[in-house]
Structure 1
Amino acid sequence: MAENLSVLVVDTATRRAIVALVRGGIVVAEAFHEQPTTHAERLVAMTTEVLERSGAGLESIDRLAIGMGPGSFTGVRVGMGFAKGLGFARGIGGVGVMSLEAMAYAARRIVGARRVFSLLDAKKGEVFVASFDGQGRRGLGPEHLARDRVQRWMDTVEPWGKRVVVGEVAEELDLRNVELIRDRSCDLPGAEAMAALAVARAASDDLALLEPLYVRPPDITQPAG
């Protein structure tokens, strides 16, 4: 049954890289790395650690939950490339999971069926934003906004009542009329939520077609003439 699948979670889209084995909705083993510039160098060791601690082999993995962004351009590419490589090499199906959706999913475990606004630091004075209704359906977003435009965007989406907001970056913003949920599970994308969203999908994505969700166009530097 789908709920008993063994899911290997790989996400390096944010400052906190995660590799985790989730079986039957329970995190069996998990490894973190919080130095974004060395996520790539740590992925193999993190995966080995998780498999050894869980007593599992890659042959026992039923599905990959792959962090597809948004997040840092390099981070998203690193994690997706690594996870897709595992999938191709071992014949494991994978599902791309959006960072902001995983955060909203985890928040609903805390606040119930309410609209959630997910915020993620996009650097350069901007924030990635998206809204999700009480059933997890995406409303507006994902998009990137200047920090001083986030309040106006939320006012447009939900003009009345307190808004449930998740994401560690929210504490750095001057937001009004919000209920800020601070919890490790939804400050950034978490393994349990990512695995649950991957399992909820009826079928895996075509890994050959799975692309990063950058939201903001990458910076392009023209070569010197």
Structure 2
Amino acid sequence: MTVASQKDRTLHGYGLIIDTAVEFCAVAVFDLSSGSVISKKVEEIGTGHAEILMGYVDEVVSNAGVSIREIKAVGVVTGPGSFTGIRVGVSTARGLALALGVPSIGVTTFDALSREVLPIASGRSVLIAIDARRGEFYTALYAKDGYPLVPAAVSTTEQAKTLYETYRPLLVGSGAPAIAADDTSSEIASLHATADIGTYAICVSEAFSSGQIEKPRPLYLRAPDAKPQAGFIIERR
């Protein structure tokens, strides 16, 4: 873990980015003027984000050599991904931002992954397909200029394959092999279900600099499994 020297830091301030959308728990402190990461911690934990997230935040801020009061924006990955993981990340980011009196900024996994891959797409569109299990995928299609062609959705294998066959894009994400299937002409850029924490930092820096800030909202593309049991509801009188 590398900590930038004090003379390399700007007076612009620092940002904090949190990613708990999938099996990783990732936190980083970065320079808001450039998006460059100063300190980070990324671990594949599976579940249990709520129990360790604030410890990661404390550790990363301390290793960056800054005070929590120097954080001027709190970014968070809004999904898609685990219902519980997204909820933990978004609620933590909102709470920290409120306590610090700074903006909270959401970034989707789709926007970050497309940003990583488009430079090597050679003028093609990019289809992101993240395995959502149950034979479904979280999908989004981006044009070669980064503009969303088909918005984020839950797609069946057949629907995702139709997108692929229509646009012949570069494939990205953990669901890419299932979409490509036996098509030997297909090309897969990566199998990652989330972007590098540094990419999220850059996205937050750009949003902060542009002033285009909206409160982060979870990107829940599929309804939660837990539902109320209607048979036990007492009729109101």
How high is the TM-score relative to the length of structure 2? 0.81
Write the letter of the residue equivalent to 2:54. Answer: V
Consecutive unaligned residues of structure 2, counting only runs of 5 or more, are: 1-9, 233-237
Query: Is it true that 1:182 corresponds to 2:182 in the alignment?
Result: no
> 5+ residue gaps in structure 1?
none
Residue equivalent to 2:48: 38
CA 1:211–1:25 in 2, change beyond 3 Å: closer, same or farther? closer
CA RMSD of aligned residues (A): 2.3
Q: Percent identity?
A: 27
Q: 1:84 corresponds to which letter in structure 2?
A: R
Counterparts of 1:114 and 1:63, CA distance in 2: 34
- Do the aligned partners of residues 197 and 112 (structure 1) sit closer, same or farther apart at CA in structure 2, a change above 3 Å counting? farther
Mapped partners of 2:50, 2:112: distance in 1: 22
Distance 1:50 1:118, change over 3 A: same
Q: Is the 2:121–2:144 Cα contact (8 Å) retained in structure 1?
A: no
2:205 is aligned, of 181, 192, 199, to 199
1:9 Cα offset (Å): 0.8
Deviations 1:141-178 (A, max 9, x none): 2001123432112223x1xxx52111133234444342
Q: What is aligned with 1:154?
A: 164
Distance in 1 of aligned mates of 2:108 and 2:27: 16
- Give aligned pairs, total: 215
| C-alpha distance after superposition, 1:186-223 (max 9, x if no partner) | 5522212212222222225353xx42110122234233
8 Å contact 2:36–2:202 — kept in the other structure?
A: no
Find the partner of 2:18 among 7, 10, 31: 10
Contact 1:95–1:204 (CA<8 Å) still a contact in 2? no
Which residue identity does 2:203 align to in structure 1? L
Q: What SS does the corresponding residue of 1:89 show, helix, strand or coil?
A: helix
Q: What is the correspondence of 1:41-56 to structure 2 with a 5 Å cutoff? A: 41-56=51-66
Q: 1:91 to 1:188 in 2, by over 3 A?
A: same
Q: How does 1:56-67 map to 2 (within 5 A)?
A: 56-67=66-77
CA distance in 1, matches of 2:161, 2:18: 32
1:77-96 matches, within 5 Å, as: 77-96=87-106
